[in-house]
Amino acid sequence: MKALGRYLVWGGEVVTGAKSFKANPVLGSVRLNRLGLHVARVWSGYWITRLRMALLAPGVPTADRRQFNEQGFVLKENYLPEAQFKALVAAVARFDGEIRECCQGDARTHRILLTPEVLNALPEAKAVLDDPALKRLFRYCSGHARLPICHIENVLNDLTEPGTRRDPQKNLHIDTFQPTMKFWLYLEEVSEENGPFVFVPGSTRPTRERLKWEYAMSLQASRHADHYTASGSFRVSAEDAARLGTEGPRAFCVKGNTLLIANTFGIHARGEAAPGSSRLALWGMSRTNPFLPLPGLGFGYFNRLQYRVLTRMRQRDDERAAARGTLSSWHRIEQTRIVDEPPESN
Ligand SMILES: [Fe+2]
């Protein structure tokens, strides 16, 4: 009876954003995936999301929509007026708040969650995120009226010692089987030195080639040696990356004050970075159930609620980790300033 209940839950997850082939034997079933389960989720998730995006299109510039749908990203250089950008960088640098850290191989990611309370204390960031034009663009690119969860993020590339595991985000991959929006408003220059975002333009469409690749991956994912691939975040070989987009991987070396919004259903990676370097940005992401037919109403209540839910989840992870005598994957650190010194704005 218990087993039946578990299978009902796993079966129900087929129409959600659940992605792990290893954790869910229905999603990971070779037999079902041979019949096309995974490919059907990819294809229908994409087109239902596009339908919701169409409902959110009014007021979004045609050029932005076209770039996002054809290439998988929107890029806006010199996004904020110069004075506003400088004030934002300075305010972020002097802000004192709770920082959480996630360590992956030789990279450490530091984030300050921009809850409504934090934003009230950081009006320079609030002004950016409250802009109606940006909200419309976020809603369109995520295919949902709920706004992304936003953070201040600093990615630090450690000085490695022999034997240190490589940062897994530096391998080309897709985040999941469904369209997912991530954005960066870079607060400093991004170069080959500090790990530019690498993206394969045109790799966000469910073309015949892409679906064939998804199909082949779905037959091996549940038993795949790579933990991330088995969890539904497929790693992508250089050869596959070269043929699944309209061009090869592109590194976004950009000036500070550049806004980048990308669909991480597309093939991407964190670029190589010099040890000791770091990269500071306003960062956020949005992912919703891809099978929802409607984009929601975007009430402020739900936007605020998602911060409370995430905060509670992090606290629960802390408690569980403490009971095991370890640190949670996103643990709090003593440091309360995101950078030692404000980056040079350019
Ligand atoms: Fe990713």
Which residue segments constitute the domains of the chain, with CATH numbers given? Answer: 2-289 (2.60.120.620)
At residue 297, the pLDDT reads 87
Distance CA 174, CA 232 (A): 9
Segment (H or E) for 184: strand 181-186
Among the residues of 154-295, which ranges form H helices? 208-220, 227-230, 238-244
At residue 342, the pLDDT reads 75
Distance CA 300, CA 130 (A): 12
Strands of the sheet containing 197-199, edge to edge, are 250-251, 197-199, 268-270
CA of 5 to the centre of ligand 1 (A): 32
Mark the residues whose beta carbon lies below 5 A from ion ligand 1: 175
CA of 167 to the centre of ligand 1 (A): 12
Amino acid identity of 85? F
CA of 30 to the centre of ligand 1 (A): 25
CA of 200 to the centre of ligand 1 (A): 12
At residue 1, the pLDDT reads 64
CA of 143 to the centre of ligand 1 (A): 19
Mean per-residue pLDDT over the chain, rounded: 95
pLDDT tops 90 at residue 169: no
Each residue's pLDDT tens digit, 126-153: 999 999 999 999 999 999 999 999 999 9
Each residue's pLDDT tens digit, 274-284: 999 999 999 99
Distance CA 173, CA 191 (A): 21
At residue 346, the pLDDT reads 55
CA of 171 to the centre of ligand 1 (A): 9
Distance CA 48, CA 309 (A): 26
167 or 310, greater pLDDT: 310
CA of 75 to the centre of ligand 1 (A): 18
CA of 176 to the centre of ligand 1 (A): 9
pLDDT tops 90 at residue 213: yes
pLDDT tops 80 at residue 164: no
- Please give the average per-residue pLDDT across 163-167, as a whole number: 76
Give the phi and the psi of residue 198 in degrees, each rounded to 5: -110, 130
- Please give the average per-residue pLDDT across 3-20, as a whole number: 94
CA of 324 to the centre of ligand 1 (A): 28
CA of 83 to the centre of ligand 1 (A): 32
> Which pLDDT band holds residue 168 (cuts at 50, 70, 90)?
confident
CA of 264 to the centre of ligand 1 (A): 6
Each residue's pLDDT tens digit, 291-314: 999 999 888 999 999 999 999 999
DSSP track, 289-314: -TT-SS-----HHHHHHHHHHHHHHH
CA of 199 to the centre of ligand 1 (A): 10
